[in-house]
Amino acid sequence: MLYLAEVSTIGGAKKRNLAQMEKSQSQQDGEETSPKKTKGKSGPPEKRIRAVELQRADDQKLIGEISKMGAVTPYAVSSQFNLRIGAAKDLLEELEKRKVLTSVGGNARIRIYRAVAA
C-alpha cells in the first residue's frame, strides 16, 4: 500500500500571494526613504488650570448658566465650567448660602441642587 499525501508544516506562516508580497515590499521601501514619524505623544500633556476663585460666584453669567440647568450637581458644574469637583462643591455650597440654589436631595457624598425660582 502506497499513500501519496502532501505533508504540510505544522505552524508557521502561510505563503503569501503575489499581491501581498508586492504590498509589503512597497511599504518597506517607503519606510526607508521617508523620515520616521513618531507615533504617540511628543511630550508631556499640557496642564490645564482647573481652579476657581470664589470671586466668580458673584458673576451673573455663571449664576444664569447654573439656573438654566435642571438638576445641578457638582459633576455637571465641574464639567461645564472646567473646574475640579471639590471647587464645584464649594461653589455650590456658597450659592446655597446666598439663596441662589436650594438642596433637593442627595446623600453625604453628593448633593443635588436646583435654582430658586425668581
Domain boundaries, the chain: 54-115
pLDDT of 21 over the 60 cut: yes
- Which set of grid coordinates corresponds to residue 99? 439663596
pTM: 0.53
Residues 38-89 have pLDDT tens digits of 666 677 877 766 655 555 666 788 888 888 888 999 999 999 888 899 989 9
Give the mean pLDDT of the chain: 80
Q: Which residues contact 39 (CB under 8 A, 6 or more apart)?
A: none
Nearest residue to 84 (alpha-carbon basis) of 49, 35, 38: 49
Residue 99, sorted as left (phi over 0), alpha (psi -120 to 50) or beta, turns out to be left
Task: Tell whether domain 54-115 is in CATH 1.10.10.10.
Answer: yes
